[in-house]
Structure 1
Amino acid sequence: MKAIKNILDKITAVSSIVVFIAMVLMVTYQVIARYFFASPSSVTEALTRYSFVWLIIISATYMFGQREHICISVVRDKLPAKAKEVVNILIEIVTIIFAGLVMIFGGFTISKMNLLQIDSILNIPTGIIYSIIPICGVIIVFYSIYNIMLELKKEA
Structure 2
Amino acid sequence: MMGFRKSLDKFLDGTLVLIMAVMVLNVLWQVFSRYILGSPSSFTDELARYLMIWLGILGAAFVAGKNGHVAINVLAKRTNANNQRIMKRIVRGFIILFCLFAMVVGGLRLVYVTYVLEQYSPALGLPLAMVYVVIPLSGLIIIFYKIHDMLKL
TM-score by length of 1: 0.94
Alpha-carbon distance in structure 2 between the residues aligned to 1:60 and 1:13: 12
**Following superposition, which runs of at least 4 residues in structure 1 exceed 3 angstroms of deviation?**
none
Q: Which residue is equivalent to 1:46?
A: 46
Answering whether residue 118 of structure 2 is matched by residue 111 of structure 1, we say: no
Q: Distance in 2 between matches of 1:9 and 1:43?
A: 31
- State the Cα distance separating 1:42 from its structure 2 match: 2.1
Tell me, yes or no, if structure 1 residue 123 matches structure 2 residue 125.
yes
Q: Who is 2:98 aligned against?
A: 98
Shift of 1:8: 1.0
Equivalents in 2 of 1:28, 1:87: separation in Å?
A: 46
Residue correspondences, number: 151
- Provide the C-alpha distance between the structure 2 equivalents of 1:105 and 1:63, rounded to a whole number of angstroms: 21
Residue number in structure 2 paired with 1:150: 152
**Whole-Å separation in 2 of the counterparts to 1:48 and 1:42:** 12
**1:41 CA drift (Å):** 1.2
SS at 1:42 equivalent = coil
For residues 38-95 of structure 1, give each alpha carbon's deviation from its aligned partner in whole angstroms, at most 9, with x where no partner exists. Answer: 1111211100011011111111111100111111112112211000000000011101
Distance 2:152 2:125 in 1: 45
Amino acid at match of 1:112: Y
Structure 1: distance between partners of 2:60 and 2:80:
29
Tell me the distance in 2 between the aligned counterparts of 1:49 and 1:121: 12
Separation of aligned partners in 1, 2:78 and 2:20: 38
Unaligned regions of 5+ residues in structure 2, if any? none
Q: TM-score under structure 2 normalisation?
A: 0.96
Give a deviation string over 1:7-50, Cα, whole Å, max 9, x none.
Answer: 11111111111000100000001000000011111211100011
Alignment match, 2:58: 58
Extract unaligned runs of 5+ from structure 1. 152-156
Distance in 1 separating the partners of 2:89 and 2:72: 15
How many angstroms apart in 1 are the aligned matches of 2:18 and 2:74? Answer: 35
Instruction: Kindly indicate whether residue 12 of structure 2 is the aligned counterpart of residue 15 of structure 1.
Output: no
Q: Distance in 1 between matches of 2:14 and 2:77?
A: 32
State the one-letter code of the partner of 1:95. I
Aligned-pair RMSD on alpha carbons?
A: 0.8
Within 5 Å, give how 1:26-37 maps onto structure 2. 26-37=26-37
For residues 105-144 of structure 1, give each alpha carbon's deviation from its aligned partner in whole angstroms, at most 9, with x where no partner exists: 0001101100111111111210110000001110000001
